[in-house]
Amino acid sequence: MGEREQLNSRLRQFIEHEATGGLLLVLAAMAAILLVNAGFSGSYFDLLEQQVRIGVGALTLDKSLHHFINDGLMAVFFFLVGLEIKRECLEGSLASFSQILLPGAAAIGGVVAPAFIYLLFTRGNAEAISGWAIPSATDIAFALGALALAGNRVPLALKVFLLALATIDDLAAIIIIALFYAGGLSLLSLAGASACLLVLLAMNRIGYTRIGPYLLIGLVLWSFVLNSGVHATLAGVALGLVIPLNRSDGTSPIHELEEWLHPYVKFLILPLFAFANAGLPLAGMSLESLGRDISLGIIAGLVIGKPLGILLTVGVLVASGLVRMPEDTKWRHMFGVSCLAGIGFTMSLFIGSLAFANTEILNDVRAGVMVASVIATVIGLAILWTASPHQSGA
């Protein structure tokens, strides 16, 4: 193999590696933090406030770049999440009750416990209550990327468990956003969105499988949801769930869309979101600022609440005999993966941006999420690096 072929092969391996997405998110977040704290904060925030216009005539949308990323590009990310959830439920790791029970119950435990701990740390602060869901989220790209760094110390069944858990965790986050983070509702826009959804469902029911019309109606659905008071990213999820899995010729619209979208989401959309939402001014930050109730509640929720909720749930189910541990998995493996589920980053920052508008509070959210995600990564990997799938004891 020539030098050029070797270089291309290494580049392809890097691009396809599970850890690459997490690495890009870290680099994008670091770039934002460096810009804000190296004298370019004005340029950074001015860039995010630049207006972006899309459309023609009365259908033109005029939003800031920040809103375009959070409401527009992230809808594409949630569209991909919707596709993955449907595929996993129909033919993947969530396709049967026995497969879904353990990660599903663990995901619920991993949502409830962090929220409870956050509320415990923020009790007495009425303004902080709306952020209860921030530590309940897991960042799939980061968590799986970190897990990949543990290499062959992690049994394959545990990777499937984490993927299923994080997928259900995302579904829980979507439900939470829909129920608790909606603004003033526009009945007219909701009616338009409902009509689009009914058309999409009818297309699915009659077996229509051409992707183009689904995407076109999905764009109209998104525009209605954007103006409805419900967060626009939910339109992406809804569209993903109505895309047909298979055609009569054996090809799959869902697989085709996933394959097409993954590079754009991994290398463009999520890094842009991290860049646009991680700009944290470090001036004046101290241990005291990290000890403020919101930051501390998020850190405790992600670092303590996530593994505690997951491990307690798994422990009860295994002890009751309802389920078995994933194949070749010891309790040390489960402990390490439960800690990695405390990497909130993208989803936690996203929920934080919905929960709070105050800049100072958002800085506390950013600090809490990033510190917690680093701690969860270090602890989780440290535990997994001491384990082996062939170990006889836990």
pLDDT tens digits for range 214-267: 999 999 999 898 888 777 888 998 999 999 999 988 899 999 999 999 889 888
In whole angstroms, give the CA distance from residue 203 to residue 88.
21
Give whole-number Cα distances, 29 to 19, 23, 262, 335, 361, in Å.
16, 10, 20, 27, 18
What is the predicted pLDDT for the residue at 394? 43
Listed as ranges, residues in the chain with pLDDT below 70 are: 1-19, 55-60, 284-289, 388-394
- What per-residue confidence (pLDDT) applies to 19? 66
pLDDT score recorded for residue 306: 96
pLDDT of residue 294: 93
What is the per-residue pLDDT for 7? 54
Tell me what pLDDT residue 393 has.
40
| CATH superfamily entry for domain 61-385 | Na+/H+ antiporter like domain (1.20.1530.10)
Note the pLDDT of residue 17. Answer: 63
Looking at residue 388, its pLDDT comes to 61
146, 380 contact by CB (below 8 A): yes
- Give the per-residue pLDDT at 391: 45
Residue 393 structure tokens? 């004891």
**Both tokens of residue 246?**
């298979």
The reported pLDDT for the residue numbered 240 is 93
CA-CA-CA-CA torsion for 163, 169, 174, 176, nearest 10 degrees?
180
- Name the phi and psi angles at 63, rounded to 5: -130, 160
Amino acid at 298: I
Q: What is the model's pTM?
A: 0.77
Q: Is the Cα dihedral 50, 55, 60, 61 positive or negative? A: negative
